[in-house]
Chains A and B, each alone.
Chain A
Amino acid sequence: AQSVTQLGSHVSVSEGALVLLRCNYSSSVPPYLFWYVQYPNQGLQLLLKYTTGATLVKGINGFEAEFKKSETSFHLTKPSAHMSDAAEYFCAVTSRGSYIPTFGRGTSLIVHP
């Protein structure tokens, strides 16, 4: 069974600082990889996804993530944090041939003024 590990349940950054949210997965073959964002009292919104092709994926709101097969990682980054980025972020993985994602436990991003 595949699993997803998000290092750090909380990440705190200053406004304007680099955002780095870590995600590692376990899978025997390269999976599909996703990052979702969840604002309070809202559903999950897809930030970006990797399915095939270029390993550096750009998403909405200035976020990007890089699929590194050798490290089984898919870390999420943003060069400059905004206050509006404060939310819960979930990494998810789906096996090829499946349609059901396995989610990590989430990382709460806190942005200080």
Chain B
Amino acid sequence: GAGVSQTPSNKVTEKGKYVELRCDPISGHTALYWYRQSLGQGPEFLIYFQGTGAADDSGLPNDRFFAVRPEGSVSTLKIQRTERGDSAVYLCASSFIGREHEQFFGPGTRLTVL
């Protein structure tokens, strides 16, 4: 079956603009995670969804970042008033509830803020 997909694969925007990054999890996976991977670093946790609700958003760096998952499947990470420091690869992962230690990762969206 299909893995986790993320769109777009690359996004270039200008400082101050709004961006949306999309994640399609593996079918049947009710847990969904967003991570951010800066150059030369490992992924850092942003937010975790169980179904439609955000179970843990402690990793979101500030209120410019927001994520939704209205129907418990596709999720969108939204970044307002982008800054150059937001440039990174944004990774999405999904898993079954209760199998959080078996997360499947998507290929990521590379965001570049000019």
A-to-B contact residues, CB < 8 Å: 4, 9, 32, 34, 36, 41-46, 49, 51, 90, 92, 94, 99-101, 103-106
Contact = CB atoms under 8 A, between A and B. Distances in A.
B72 interface: no
B100 interface: yes
Contact of B101 (A9, A42, A99, A106): A99
B48 A100 contact: yes
A41 B48 contact: no
B43 A44 contact: yes
B106 interface: yes
Contacts, number: 53
Nearest to A44: B105
A43 B106 contact: yes
A106 B41 contact: yes
Interface of B: 3-4, 9, 31, 33, 40-45, 48, 56, 59, 91, 93, 100-108
Contacts of B100: 99
B42 A43 contact: no
Contacts of B103: 46, 101
B44 A43 contact: no
22 contacts: A36-B105, A43-B3, A43-B91, A43-B93, A43-B104, A43-B108, A44-B91, A44-B105, A46-B102, A49-B102, A90-B43, A92-B42, A99-B31, A99-B100, A99-B101, A100-B45, A100-B59, A101-B45, A103-B43, A105-B40, A106-B41, A106-B42
Contacts of B44: 103
A87 B107 CA distance: 14
B87 to A, nearest CB: 16
A31 to B, nearest CB: 11
Given A43-B4, A99-B48, A104 B42 contact: yes
A9 B40 CA distance: 9
